[in-house]
Amino acid sequence: MNISLLSQWFARLLAPSLLSLVITFLVATAILYEQHESKKQLQHHDLKLQSKQLAEWLDTNFSIINNILLEVKPQNSACNQQSLFELRSLMFNIAPVVEIGLVDRAGVLTCTSWQKHDDLILVEKPPKRYGLRFSGPLTMKYMQQPAFVLARTLSDGSEVNALVRLSWLRNQLKNKTSELGFVALINSDTGFPVISDGHYSMPVSNHFLPIDEEQLVADKFANRRLQVASYSPLKTLPELSIVVSEEQQILKINENNFSALWYITVIGLWGILTLLLYHLYAYLSDSSHQLKSAIRNREFINHYQPIIRSADKKIIGAEVLMRWQHPVEGIKSPVTFIPEAQEKGLLNQMTLNQLTLCEQELTAIFKLNPEFILTVNISLCHLQSTEMVNTLIRFSKKVPHLVLELTEDVLIDTDHQFIQDAFKQLTEAGIKIAIDDFGTGYCGLSYLSKLPVTYLKADKSFVASIGTDAMNADVLKLITQFSKRMNFITIAEGVETIEQARALDDQGVELHQGWLYSKAASAGLLQAMIEENDVEFH
């Protein structure tokens, strides 16, 4: 492979590889985004589950403690042997509680499960609010360590409370999050932590307060980090909530997302896409597939340009012309597709189809007019095909008068044996030859002596010159005189005005084609015109 071929190949590969690079990038980004989203969902789900489970666990324990407190009666404040025994046995049933205490209506701690207190230990006056409540963590002077207190006001206005070990609570909150997260038991109204593990922080916006139902907050926190937190209020103590929080940063794409397999997949995808696009591009840039599919879909139809006998304005024949009935672009003229069809070697097949169509469409016309002339445009490629020559011969048996129109440029190679042979076979079958667009070729006239020519079709440019271009009008005169001298029949193409028709009549040119009489028409229209003998001047 030489350098220029190599660079051509690279140039052809450049667009598909760039496009597939973009597609691969988009796909990879979409996958990463999807991964990120599902991780986020998973993280949110995990946080919700953890905060809910912790809240449920606390509720279970708090309701056990609540039930114990409900068993304490005002008379226990007597703090005698009997009531101390009762308090201790109650306390021993619940591990987290280190002490049960009794406070009188004035706020004096009178008795604990440990002992009777004779020295005046003033704590807070019990509120007149029934039901479980909490306070703390507060440092009990007499115990010298912080405690979390659960309390109830009894029917006589005194209070029973349980001191819960903070270490027990702490242990339950530990190790629930990564190093960047935190867990806390917080005040549902203020958000302040009663006890926490990790670096506790609150969302910058306090719209999450008060916490009266489970909620998830993903926001900027006071620690200036993006955190997501799940809040679950306790059922036994709605003033308290559990919060479990993680930093959102840990979800960010990092090098852990890019394993070797990831790189191999992405590069593989890029390679495969490049190849696919390369082939697609090659396929699309080769328009012959359009022609092939048009042949398959029978999109090529026949139009017939009538040949008029000027003396009586009768249609005595027609030239069959190919049209492409394009599904999107509408009817397309042969100049837009014949050269390519010829180049891609598709013209023979198209002409074979054309002949089959002629046979189907013109049977009725042949019956109406047993002398009907049908002219078919033929190129060099047709003559090179034995199948085509044989088909033309078979076809000629069904057509009263078959004429092949050859352009002068096709006739340059008339010396070739295969052309001679083809013409021999064709003329022996009674097929006539016409020279199309006569006077426009550049190949001299020697072929006229070698071929059995019957018709000369004077090119429409000469007809158009009548009355306008003296020089070309003279050439037309020469052509008609020459044709007469050689015993050829002249057909004038492109007759558009009555003046042109009259001038041609004057020169003895009897057969006319052109818009003056009719445009190329469908078989049905042609048949109607023949039946009504109706060729109107336009």
Give the helix, strand, coil percentages of the chain, each rounded to 5.
45, 25, 30
Which of 273, 389, 205 shows the shortest CA–CA distance to 20?
Answer: 273
Count of Cβ atoms closer than 10 Å to residue 348 Cβ? 18
The two structure tokens encoding residue 298: 């029978």
> Minimum CB separation from Ca ion for residue 288, in Å?
24
* CA dist list (Å): 409 to 376, 412, 441, 443, 444: 16, 6, 6, 7, 10
Shortest distance, position 269 Cβ to Ca ion, whole Å: 54
> Which pair of structure tokens corresponds to residue 521?
């028409």
Q: Is 303 left (phi over 0), alpha (psi -120 to 50) or beta?
A: beta
CA–CA separation, 37 vs 84, rounded Å?
59
Least distance from Ca ion to the Cβ atom of residue 327, Å? 27
Nearest CB to Ca ion, comparing residues 269 and 451: 451
Nearer to Ca ion, 203 or 514 (CB): 514
Dist. CA 425–CA 8, nearest whole Å: 47
Q: Which residues contact 5 (CB under 8 A, 6 or more apart)?
A: none
Least spacing, CB of residue 295 vs Ca ion, in Å: 21
Tokens at 537, concatenated: 């001047």
Helix axes 288-296, 347-368, angle to 10 degrees: 40
Whole-number minimum distance, CB 405 to Ca ion, in Å? 4
Query: Could you tell me if 125 and 94 are in contact, meaning their C-beta atoms sit under 8 angstroms apart?
Result: no
CB of 286 to Ca ion, least distance (A): 29
- What lies within 8 Å, CB to CB, of 28 at 6+ separation is 266, 269
What's the closest the beta carbon of residue 508 comes to Ca ion, in angstroms? 20
Residue 363: CB minimum distance to Ca ion, A:
23
- Binding-residue pattern over the window 434 to 473 for Ca ion, x denoting contact by CB under 5 A: --xx------------------------------------
User: In Å, how far are 118, 260, 303, 316, 458 from 248, measured between CA atoms?
Assistant: 55, 26, 73, 89, 86
Of 159 and 405, CB closest to Ca ion: 405
3-class SS of residue 226 = strand
DSSP of 113-161, one letter per residue? SS-EEEEEEE-PPPPS--S-EEEEEEEETTTTEEEEEEEEE-TTS-EEE
What is the smallest separation between the CB atom of 17 and Ca ion, expressed in angstroms?
48
Between 72 and 322, whose beta carbon lies closer to Ca ion?
322
The counts of H helices and E strands in the chain are 15, 20
Tell me how far apart the alpha carbons of residues 460 and 232 are, in angstroms, rounded to a whole number.
94
Closest approach, Cβ 510 to Ca ion, in A, equals 17
The number of residues that bind Ca ion (CB under 5 A) is: 4
Site for Ca ion in 334-393 (CB under 5 A): 377
In the bound state with Ca ion, the residue whose beta carbon lies nearer, of 108 and 412, is 412
Q: How far is the CB of 528 from Ca ion (least distance, A)?
A: 23
Binding characters for Ca ion, 400-439, by CB under 5 A (x = yes): -----x------------------------------xx--
Binding mask 19-38 for Ca ion (x = CB under 5 A): --------------------
Which element (helix H / strand E) includes 219?
strand 215-220
What is the DSSP track for 331-392? EE-GGGTHHHHHHTT-HHHHHHHHHHHHHHHHHHHHHH-TT-EEEEEE-HHHHT-HHHHHHH
Residues 6+ apart with CB under 8 A from 43: 228, 246, 251
Smallest separation, CB 465 to Ca ion (Å): 16
d(CA 399, CA 404): 12
CB of 283 to Ca ion, least distance (A): 34
Residues forming contacts to Ca ion in the complex (CB under 5 A) are 377, 405, 436-437
